[in-house]
Amino acid sequence: MIANTDYVIKIKNPTDTKHELIITSNGTETKSNELKPGKNGKLNFNANSTGTFEYHCEYHPDTMKGIIEISSQ
């Protein structure tokens, strides 16, 4: 992803449990709505700095997690 750019992250939940996407950077959290089983959602995201951002699921932080690389171009 590119810094200072508006993104809409589309989220699908084909599972039978709820999830919630959270992206963290410098102590700031960007959260999706709670995604109930079988529902879809989206999250507006705009990184105002370059670097590595972390994301995780509110309910499954140990297994549903990863990083997002934000670059300048």
Contacting positions for Cu ion (CB under 5 A): 19, 57, 59-60, 64
Q: Please, which contacts does 65-73 make with residues 24 or more away whose CB atoms are closer than 8 Å?
A: 68/1, 68/23, 69/1, 70/1, 70/2, 70/3, 71/1, 71/2, 71/3, 72/2, 72/3, 73/2
Between 51 and 61, CB nearer to Cu ion: 61
- Least separation in angstroms between CB 39 and Cu ion: 13
Please report where in the chains the tokens 């994301």 appear, as a residue.
55
Nearer to Cu ion, 42 or 60 (CB): 60
Least distance CB 63 / Cu ion (angstroms): 8
Tell me whether residue 19 or residue 70 sits nearer to Cu ion (CB atom): 19
Least Cβ distance, residue 66 to Cu ion (angstroms): 12
